Structure 1
Amino acid sequence: MAKKFDVSVCVAIYNSDPLQLFMTLASMIRQKQVSFEVIVADDGSVSDMSEQIRAFFKAEGFEDYKILRSEKNNGTVINYLRAAVSSSGKYIKCISAGDLFYSETSLSELMRYMERNSLDACFTDAVYYNSRGLPEVSVDPQIVGVHRKRYLYLQKLCYLILSDRACGAAWLVRREEFLRYMRLFANKVRFCEDSIYCLMIMDEKRVGFRYEPSIYYHYGDGLSTAKNETWTLKLREDDNAVNLIQLRRCRGNSFFEKRYRFFLRFFDARKRLINIVLKMFVFPEVLPLWILQKTRRRKNVKSASFAFLEECRSAAEKFML
Structure 2
Amino acid sequence: MKEIYDVSALILTYNPNLQKLLMTLKSFLLQKGLLLQIIVSDDGSEENYFTEVERMFKKYNFTKYKLVKNESNVGTVKNLIGGLAVCQGKYVKTLSPGDFINGEYTLFRWMQKMQSEQLVAACADVIYYRTRKDGKQEAVSQKTHPQRKNLVGRKLKVSYLLCDDIFLGAAIMCETKTFRYYLNIISGKVIYAEDNVLRLMVFDDKKVGFFDEEAIIYEIGDGISTQGSVKWARLLRKDWEAADKIIINLPTKDLEFKNKFITIAKMKLENKSNQINKLLRYCMISDIFFYKLKTKFNSRLSSKILPTQWLSRLQS
TM over 0.5: yes
User: How many Å separate the matches in 2 of 1:301 and 1:103?
Assistant: 19
Cα distance change of structure 1 residues 228 and 299 upon mapping to structure 2, 3 Å threshold: closer
* Superposition deviation, residue 290 in structure 1: 2.4
Q: Kindly state the Cα deviation for residue 302 of structure 1 after the two structures are TM-superposed.
A: 2.9
Q: Does 2:247 correspond to 1:243? A: no
In structure 1, the partner of 2:81 is: 81
For the structure 1 residues 16 and 276, does the alpha-carbon distance in structure 2 shift closer, same or farther, using more than 3 Å as the test? farther
Alpha-carbon distance in structure 2 between the residues aligned to 1:274 and 1:14: 39
Task: Choose from 139, 144, 147 the match for 1:145.
Answer: 147
Structure 2 Cα separation of the partners of residues 269 and 7 of structure 1: 42
Distance across 1 between alignment mates of 2:289 and 2:193:
27
| Equivalent-residue separation in structure 2 for 1:38 and 1:48 (angstroms) | 16
CA displacement at 1:279 relative to structure 2? 3.6
Distance 1:269 1:282 in 2: 19
Provide the residue aligned with 2:195 in structure 1.
194
Asked if structure 2 preserves the Cα contact closer than 8 Å seen for 1:128 and 1:135, the reply is yes
| Corresponding position of 1:294 | 296
Amino acid at match of 1:235: L
Shift of 1:240: 0.6
Alignment of 1:38-187 (within 5 A): 38-131=38-131, 132-137=136-141, 139=142, 142-147=144-149, 149-187=150-188
Tell me if the contact between 1:38 and 1:65 (Cα under 8 Å) persists in the aligned partners. Answer: yes
**Cα distance in 1, alignment partners of residues 303 and 102 from structure 2:** 12
After superposition, the CA RMSD in angstroms is 2.1
Q: Please, which runs of 5 or more residues in structure 1 have no aligned partner?
A: 315-321
Could you list the per-position Cα deviations for residues 283-308 of structure 1 after superposition, in whole angstroms to 9, with x for gaps in the alignment? 36443232222111124663553321
Deviations 1:18-42 (A, max 9, x none): 1111110011100000001000000
Count of aligned pairs between the two proteins: 311
- 1:253 and 1:27, CA in 2 relative to 1: closer, same or farther beyond 3 A? closer
Tell me if structure 1 keeps the 8 A contact 2:15–2:47: yes
Match of 1:227 in 2: 228
**Contact kept? 1:191, 1:238, Cα under 8 Å:** yes
Amino acid at match of 2:166: R
Aligned residue for 2:284?
Answer: 283
**TM-score where L is the length of structure 2:** 0.91
Q: In the superposition, relative to structure 1, how do residues 259 and 47 fare at CA in structure 2: closer, same or farther (>3 Å)?
A: same
SS at match of 2:123: strand
Partners of 1:97 and 1:44 lie apart in 2 by 15
Aligned counterpart, 2:253: 252
Gaps of 5+ in 2: none
TM-score w.r.t. the length of structure 1 is 0.90
CA contact 2:13–2:48 (8 Å) conserved in 1:
no
- Does the 8 Å CA contact 2:248/2:258 hold for their aligned counterparts? no
- SS of the aligned residue for 1:193 comes to coil
